[in-house]
Amino acid sequence: MSMIEIVREEMRKCDAKTLRSVRLNIGQMAAIVPDSLSFCFEVITKGTEMEGARLMMDVIPLKGYCNTCESEFEIKDYVFACPSCGDTNIKTISGQDLAIVEIEVD
Ligand SMILES: [Zn+2]
């Protein structure tokens, strides 16, 4: 789980002793269930300097951009077509990744 590695690296950089919280953006398409991530996090961090940290998660909706009519829209029910012009020539612009937004340490 590379997320843990990133947090650990950040803690090392600022010479932190304990981790208070981590805020994450979870893309709707990242195929991550917040509840199971939260459970995983607890298991992985047990007995480490990260134990007991609060995991805060925001789910980022999947957004698309239409290359044909240049509009931005939310992709619902995994319908990858532009709601304005119906074209499928679109690209996703958010909601695909897992990202660490901020960490709070002592
Ligand atoms: Zn369009």
Domain-by-domain residue ranges, the chain? 2-105
Strand, coil or helix: what is 32? coil
Q: pLDDT by residue (tens digit) across 10-47?
A: 999 999 999 999 999 999 988 889 999 999 999 999 99
CA–centroid distance, residue 76 to ligand 1 (Å): 15
Q: pLDDT by residue (tens digit) across 48-87?
A: 999 999 999 999 999 999 999 999 999 998 899 999 999 9
CA–centroid distance, residue 78 to ligand 1 (Å): 16
pLDDT at res. 85:
98
Can you tell me which residue has the tokens 């509840």? Answer: 35
CA–centroid distance, residue 93 to ligand 1 (Å): 14
CA–centroid distance, residue 106 to ligand 1 (Å): 48
Rounded to whole angstroms, the Cα distance separating 80 from 78 reads: 6
pTM: 0.80
Nearest alpha-carbon partner for 26 in 95, 93, 77, 74: 95
Token pair recorded at residue 102: 């901020």
pLDDT at res. 1:
60
CA–centroid distance, residue 97 to ligand 1 (Å): 24
Residue 98 has pLDDT above 70, yes or no: yes
CA–centroid distance, residue 60 to ligand 1 (Å): 22
Q: Which CATH architecture has domain 2-105?
A: 2-Layer Sandwich (3.30)
